[in-house]
Amino acid sequence: MAKVSKRYTAVAEKLEPGRVYEPREAVDLLKEVATAKFDETVEVHLRTYADPRHADQMIRGVVVLPNGLGKTVRVLVFAAGEGADIARQAGADFVGDDDLIQKIEAGWVEFDVGLATPDMMPRIGRLGRVLGRRGLMPNPRTGTMVQPRDLARTIQESKAGRLEYRTDRTAIIHSPFGKASFTAEQLMQNLAALMDAINRAKPAAVKGPFYKSAYLTSAMGPGIPVEPSSMQNLRPED
């Protein structure tokens, strides 16, 4: 059995047993209990009623968080010719074609966002086994397969706080939405933008409530239970 630290125990004691919090209450408490010596990432975990065994109930998309994620985002672009020139000028951290493919096949994955121009998709298909499980494989469904004319904008959005979300095999969405050092208002703005995007992506096959449970947590803190219906109704203007 894993040993629980005194810090974690002290933090967990701040939660009221059996209580389910409203989003703003949870964010305020999240900041209070994020006491690690580093700037903790804060996350939301949503157990949905979707059935990921059915393709039409897979939930996946992207959103640009208004206050970013509080970290440096390394962007890789698979492109050649004009697309490669545009990507470099727009500030992509890594740009290439066969050279990057070979580097990744050898085990290198030191980047946070992967983009590709359409002509590169057939060439990078064999990287799906490596990049797919890490959420780094360019995909037209998530807007990471990009026409050269849209590369500059997409690179800028990626560095500013463009975030991909999706359900895992157990119908749960795990997603960061900022850092503990953010103000409560900044965290609420990010959370509202993320939830609005996810709520809009609710599959038509999921009738009634969308979420079975919802939790907010910091990297080293306990999960704070949040009222699921309040997450389903959260909007950026809130």
Q: What percentage of residues in the chain have a pLDDT greater than 90? A: 74
Instruction: Please report the pLDDT score of residue 44 as a whole number.
Output: 98
Tokens for 121, please give them: 């998709």
Whether the pLDDT of residue 2 is over 80: the answer is no
The arithmetic mean of pLDDT across residues 197-208, rounded, is 94
Q: What is the pLDDT of residues 102-116, one digit of tens each?
A: 999 999 999 999 999
Whether the pLDDT of residue 11 is over 80: the answer is no
Contact at 8 Å (CB) between 219 and 40?
yes
DSSP 8-state secondary structure symbol assigned to residue 5? P
Task: Count Cβ atoms within 10 A of the Cβ of residue 61 and give its class: 0-12 exposed, 13-18 middle, 19 or more buried.
Answer: middle
Instruction: Please report the pLDDT score of residue 7 as a whole number.
Output: 61
pTM of the model: 0.79
Domain 75-160 has CATH 3.40.50.790: yes
The arithmetic mean of pLDDT across residues 196-207, rounded, is 95
Q: Is the fold of 19-68+163-232 the same as that of 75-160?
A: no
Q: What is the pLDDT of residues 125-176, one digit of tens each?
A: 999 999 988 889 999 988 899 999 999 999 999 998 888 899 999 999 999 9
Q: What does the alpha-carbon distance between residue 24 and residue 70 come to, in Å, rounded to a whole number? A: 20
Domain 19-68+163-232 has CATH 3.30.190.20: yes
Instruction: Please report the pLDDT score of residue 162 as a whole number.
Output: 85
Contact at 8 Å (CB) between 50 and 171?
yes
Instruction: Please report the pLDDT score of residue 13 as a whole number.
Output: 76
Q: What is the pLDDT of residues 22-64, one digit of tens each?
A: 999 999 999 998 888 899 999 999 999 999 999 999 998 889 8
The arithmetic mean of pLDDT across residues 7-32, rounded, is 85
Q: What does the alpha-carbon distance between residue 146 and residue 123 come to, in Å, rounded to a whole number? A: 15
Instruction: Please report the pLDDT score of residue 108 as a whole number.
Output: 96
In one letter, which amino acid is 159? Answer: K
Domain ranges of the chain: 19-68+163-232, 75-160
3-state secondary structure of 143: coil
